[in-house]
Structures are given as C-alpha cells and as structure tokens.
Amino acid sequence: MPSRTAPAAASSPPGTPDSPGTPGTPGTPALAKDGRAAERSLGRRLLARPEIGALIAAVAVYAFFFSVAPAFREASSLATVLYQASVMGIMAIPVALLMIGGEFDLSAGVAVTSSALMTAILSFQLSLNVWTGVVVALVFSLAVGAFNGYLLIRTGLPSFLITLGSFLVLQGANLAVTKIFTGNVASDSISDMDGFDQAKALFASEIGIGGVDVKVTVLWWLLFAAAATWLLLRTRFGNWIFAVGGSEDSARAVGVPVTFTKVALFMGVGAGAWFVGMHLLFSFNTVQSGEGVGNEFLYIIAAVIGGCLLTGGYGSAVGPVIGAFIFGMVSQGIVYANWNPDWFKAFLGVMLLLAALVNLWVRRQATRR
Amino acid sequence: MDRTFLPCSRRFAPAVAAAAAAALLVAGCSSGSGGKKAAEGTADAPAGKAGTPRMKVAMITHGGPGDTFWDLIRKGAQTAAAKDNIELVYSSDPNAATQANLIQNAIDQKVDGIAITLAKPDAVKSAVAKARQAGIPVVGFNSGLSEWKDQGLLEFFGQDESVAGEAFGEKLNALGAKRAVCVIHEQGNVGLEARCAGVKKTFKGATENLYVNGTDMPSVKSTIAAKLKQDGSIDHVVTLGAPFALTAVQSVADAGGKAKVATFDLNKDLVNAVKAGDVRFAVDQQPYLQGYLAVDSLWLYRTNGNVSGGGQEPVLTGPAFVDKENVDAVATFAAKGTR
C-alpha cells in the first residue's frame, strides 16, 4: 500500500499537482521564513502552469499569420494546420510525459515507421486480415518501449544513449527487413485487403464539420491530450511521473515504484508510435522504410515549447498540444504567406528559443518571492 | 515584385548598412582571380513578361533543403513564372506525409495550378484527387513517370529513372567497364534504387550497390575509399548526384586506385570535373527544364488549353549525356548555375 503523501516536496516546483486528499500548496508554507501567502492570487496560480508561456506564444503566432497571410484565415487552412499538428502532437504527448518522468526517447521517430511497416509487411506477406497486423504491431511497439525501459533500469545508462542505440537498430531494421520481404524500399500496398476500410475509418478518415473536412487524427489528438491530463493530474500514477522525474532517489525512498513508472512511460511512447504509424499506413496505403528519422526531435521540441523541462519533473500534457499547434502553424503558415521556404528551419529555431525564454520568464515570475 | 523574403522592417536598415560598410572594408583586400567578380554578368536568362492576368501556381517537391539539383528545378520554375506573370509558391519536404499536406495547403490557397513530384505516389494520391475535385489543374514532373496518368495528372515532364539507368549501363559497356559499384546516397529512396537497378539490367559486367550517408560527406568519402581498397578490381564508381561524384573523385585519389567516376546529374563544379577528365561522363536530366516546363505548361493550359503529350505521353527531359565531346557547350550555362 503506497503512501498517499505528495512526493518529496523539496524537489517539486510550484504547479505540481497534489494527489487527491492532500490539501494545501506544495512546499511547506508553515515555515515563518517563507514569505508566500498560503492562498496565492489567481494570476500567480495561472502563471505557475507550465503551458501558459506556450499559450501566449501560440496566440501571438496565430495573430501574426492571420494578419500577414490571407489564405491562413480560411477554415480549411485551419483544418490543414490542425492536421499537421495532430500527427506530430499525438506523439508529443507520451514523449512529454516521458520527459516529465526525466527520460528521453530518441527512437520515437523511427518507431512510428517500424510499427507501420510491421503491419504492412505482416498482413501482406501472410495475406492476413489487416487487423491482425494492427494488433501485432501494437504488441511490437509496446515491446520496444518496454525493452528501452527495462534496459534503462537494468544498466543505469542514460536514456539518451540507450534510445540512441534502439533508434539506429530500428532505422537499419526498417530498411533491411522491408527489402528482404518486398525487394523494394517501400512496403506493398494493402489497400485492397480485408479490414482495410474499417481500419482506415478508425485511424485515417475525415469528418465534415461545418463544411470543412477535418481529419480524424485531430479528434484523437485532443482525446489523448484530455486522457493524459487526467492521468497526470488526477491519478496516483501521475504523481509517480512527477516524482521519478523530480528526484528518482527521493521517489524510491517514499515508496514510488520507479521501475514500473519508467517502463510504463516508455511503453506509452510505444503506443503513441503505434497509433501514428497506423494513421500513416492507412492514409497512404504503403510506408516508405526510410522515413521518420529526425521526427523524434520535433516531438521533443513540441514538448519543450509546451513548457516541459529537459531535466524532468516539470511539465504538462496540454503543453505539447500547444507546442505541436505552434509547429503546425509555423510550418504551414510560411507557405500560406508565400515566404521563402529556405528560411523555415531558421525560423523554427528562433521560435524554439523564444518559446523556451518565455517559459523561463514565466516560471521566474511564478516563483518570485 | 515577387521576390520572397522575410518581411523586413526598417529596424534592420542600420544593421544592413553596417554590414555593407564591413563588406566595403573587406573589399580593400581583394583577390586578383576567381571569386564573385569573375562570376558577375552571369545572371539568369533575360526574358520578357506575358500580358496575361496574374496567376498563382504552387510547386511542391520532395527535395531536401539545400540540394543543388532542386535548386536548378526551382530556378527554372522561377524563370517561367517571371515570364508568364505568375506568382510561384515553392515548397518542398522529403517526408511523404508532409508533401501531401503541402498539396492540401495549395488547395486551401485556391491556386490556379499545381506542379508536383510523385516520388511517393501512394502518399499524395488523395491530396491530388482533392485538387482535381477543386478544379485545379495538376501536372507532374521529375518523378512518377509510371503513376502520373493513373492519378489523372494533365501532363508529365521528366526522365524515366530506369531508362536513364539502362542508358547508363550501355554507356559503361561502350567504355569497356568490367566491374562497377553504384553509390546510393539515401537509403530508402525509390528513384535512386531504380537508377542502380537500371544500370544492373544493361551493364554486362558486375555491379553492386554501396549505401552511404549522403548527409555526411566525410563519411561518403571514406566509405567509397574503403570499398575501393577492399576490392581492387572495381574500375568504375557510379554516383547518383553531382556532389557525390566530386567526392568519389577524392576517394579514388585516396585509395590510389585506377577507378573512374561516372555520375547521374550535373552541377557547376561537375562540368569542370568532366572538362578536366576527373569524371568520365554525366547523365543529365535537365532539372532546369523540368521546373520551367512544369510551370509554363500550366500557363499554357490556363491561357490556351494546351496539353503537352495530349495527356497520353510524358514529355522526356533526359537522359542527355555530357562528356568531354560536348561539355564546352554546357559549361557556359552551368557556370551561370542554370544547368
């Protein structure tokens, strides 16, 4: 029976949620030296939310593109931006949770491609109903996540190194395995197989909302964000995530199951990779084995813009949603405004730095005595 | 005025002025040969301008940023756009899903025409269908020779990679090559694989593929050199892009072998290498022409209903061989950075 006390308060910054049943703000307001009032003003409490800086940035970016690019104002353009953001954002959520838990996953980008290839090749080669492939791919993706987590716990090596290894292994395996089975560098099309249409409806359909086609991934993305927020703020597991990210040793000392938490977080990234992989497969019928490389950094960028700290122990599930939305706005907005796309990466880098600085400033404001 | 730069405020003017002053200072210690001075007067071909109404055309490619080849395509497209009074929206992304999204982006902008590369035809299928539903004419270029008709594109400009590869193999036979290595600089790229497969098909000698990491030139250089050292019987190195051919020349020198280099695609420096005899020949698919024709054809379709190839046959822009015999004719244009 684990205790219901909030994890080591010394290591938890303001804004860390309390487990249900523990009243009061984090920290120890009982000390006379602490000048903070027990009841902080609403503004202060808002500022203490990890995603508030990103929200300010998102509003600014939206207003900016709204004013410079007429095409950006159309509802259909917003649907395009949201779609781009959702494909990245679905992955950014578990990646952000993992970062709050104090770890990285560099294999997240190619894991998406691996999962999609698994389904495509298995279904095609054995002429199975595609749902079989979908389920096997889920098991595979979870296993990759579990393997990463297990290796991390057993070896004590930094997750940066371990997942760099699995990233390279997966990247090579994607290409080699695809080539063995198809003689080609892309998987065979599975669009005429049993179950494809049902799977497409689930993972890659479009829904008409007010005369605009919105991709179903946008809805999934928001649903997953809501679920992750509930998990993080309203469950014991959420507390464990903050605890292991804040200080692993303190967490272990107060009875938090560190191994379980970290392995589960890596498996969460696996589940996200599976979902996005399925979406790509069922919207495009085939998978290119070389894709996905480099996307792992985009997920991390979305989480960082959304207010997650690289050191762990701080962040939210709403943050990466806003971070991915900013990324989608910038990447499509540059095209809507017809700017020179050569500048895209430079612009993205500036955005990232600005977002990180805004986050830092907001956090300073929130923790000012 | 359709030069696209980031909107620049007056606040940058002093900074620009300071930079200009610094440039003037540097000019004091100038070089007597080469440099920009020697290259001046080699601007793009001067052209008139059509009096037709303003149009907006989107060009969406799968090229990576900073690639010399795609830069030529873009230059061709820009020349045609300037002539035809067209506002060109150029965007590119190697990732299939993003490319499909960029097509959707063009539809949102209600452009008058779209030019796309079908490197990953399945991925852009639904986006292309959407464009056609919206009544936007779509033309294909560079890649997708076998798919453009199925997807209902109006016309296609490019070269067949397998055919180019086969022609390459024939040329190697004519040169008496016995053993070749085909350097693929991007693992998982269908077009590159097709080229090497084409070479393999017609080449009478033995050939094998060598995979290198194209984003890291030093490793390309050492990988090729290691291969040449390991197998001394290789007499021809086949590269699939101009920058890699120039690197392969260095690898051959490092390995101290007798191997010759031949390549697909051209750029400015490669023409000089052909002149100097470092590279035996290059297969040119004329990217400038591909970009130019793709944009120009949309203008023709909009203003006069013309369809090149009648929607039945592709318009081929290659393979054109560049070797010591005809390199001088190409050199002047290559020096301007348009071939």
Q: Does B134 reside within a domain?
A: yes
Tally of domains in chain B:
2
Q: Which residues pair with B236 in a beta bridge?
A: B180, B260
pLDDT attached to residue B41: 44
Q: Does B34 reside within a domain?
A: no
Q: A294's torsion region: left (phi>0), alpha (psi -120 to 50) or beta?
A: left
Mark whether B18 and B152 lie in a shared domain. Answer: yes
Range of the domain at B229: 161-284
pLDDT attached to residue B304: 94
Q: Is the confidence at residue B96, as pLDDT, over 60?
A: yes
Q: Does B123 reside within a domain?
A: yes
Q: How confident is the model at residue A12 (pLDDT cuts 50, 70, 90)?
A: very low
Mark whether B198 and B290 lie in a shared domain. Answer: no
Mark whether B186 and B132 lie in a shared domain. Answer: no
Cα-Cα end-to-end distance for chain A: 37
Give the Cα separation of A138 and A145 in Å (integer).
11
CATH of the domain at B133: 3.40.50.2300
Beta strands in chain B (DSSP E): 55-61, 86-92, 113-116, 138-142, 156-158, 179-184, 206-211, 236-239, 260-264, 279-284, 315-316, 320-323
Q: Does B169 reside within a domain?
A: yes
Residue in A175, A285, A332 nearest the CB of B105? A332
Q: Does B334 reside within a domain?
A: no
One-letter amino acid at B169 equals G
Query: What is the pTM assigned to this prediction?
Result: 0.80
Q: How many CB pairs under 8 A join A and B?
A: 93
Residue in A174, A335, A340 nearest the CB of B105? A335
Q: Please compute the mean of the pLDDT values over residues B52-60 and round it to a whole number.
A: 93
The pLDDT tens digits of the residues spanning B99-110 come to: 999 999 999 999
Q: Does B37 reside within a domain?
A: no
Mark whether B103 and B125 lie in a shared domain. Answer: yes
Would you say B108 and B123 are in contact if contact means Cβ atoms under 8 Å apart?
no
Would you say A88 and A327 are in contact if contact means Cβ atoms under 8 Å apart?
yes
Q: Is the confidence at residue B27, as pLDDT, over 70?
A: no
Q: Do A280 and B107 touch (CB under 8 A)?
A: no
Kindly report which listed range (A47-56, A208-217, B53-62, B124-133) carries the lowest average pLDDT score: A47-56
Q: Does B44 reside within a domain?
A: no
The pLDDT tens digits of the residues spanning B184-214 come to: 998 767 788 889 999 999 999 999 999 988 8
Give the Cα separation of B59 and B115 in Å (integer).
5
Residue in B65, B102, B104 nearest the CB of A345? B65
Residue in B122, B187, B188 nearest the CB of A286? B122
* CATH number, domain A50-367: 1.10.3470
Nearest Cα residue to B312 out of B145, B149, B161: B149
Q: Is the confidence at residue B9, as pLDDT, over 70?
A: no
Nearest Cα residue to B217 out of B193, B249, B191, B195: B249
Q: How far is B98 from chain A (nearest CA, A)?
A: 8
Q: Do A338 and B92 touch (CB under 8 A)?
A: no
pLDDT attached to residue A345: 81
One-letter amino acid at A86 equals S
Q: Is B30 exposed, middle or buried (0-12, 13-18, 19+ CB in 10 A)?
A: exposed
Q: How confident is the model at residue B235 (pLDDT cuts 50, 70, 90)?
A: very high
Higher pLDDT, A307 or A241: A241
Write out the two tokens for B124: 């852009």
Q: Does B5 reside within a domain?
A: no
Q: Is A173 exposed, middle or buried (0-12, 13-18, 19+ CB in 10 A)?
A: middle
Q: How confident is the model at residue A30 (pLDDT cuts 50, 70, 90)?
A: very low
Residue-averaged pLDDT of chain B: 86
Q: How confident is the model at residue A7 (pLDDT cuts 50, 70, 90)?
A: very low
Mark whether B55 and B84 lie in a shared domain. Answer: yes
Q: Do A335 and B190 touch (CB under 8 A)?
A: no
Q: Look at the block and give the residue holding tokens 């560079």.
A: B142
Nearest Cα residue to A87 out of A319, A304, A292, A268: A292
Please enumerate in sequence order all residues whose Cβ is within 8 A of that of B198, keeping only pairs 6 or more positions apart, or say none: B161, B162, B163, B164, B165, B166, B167, B168, B169
Q: How far is B3 from chain A (nearest CA, A)?
A: 9
The pLDDT tens digits of the residues spanning B272-319 come to: 999 999 999 999 999 999 999 999 999 999 999 999 999 899 999 988
Q: Do A291 and B96 touch (CB under 8 A)?
A: yes
Q: Is the confidence at residue B47, as pLDDT, over 80?
A: no
Q: Which residues of B54-84 are buried (b: 16+ CB within 10 A; e: fewer)?
A: ebbbbbbbbbeeebbbbbbbbbbbbbbbbbb
Mark whether B21 and B144 lie in a shared domain. Answer: yes
Mark whether B99 and B201 lie in a shared domain. Answer: no
Domain residues of chain A, as ranges? 50-367
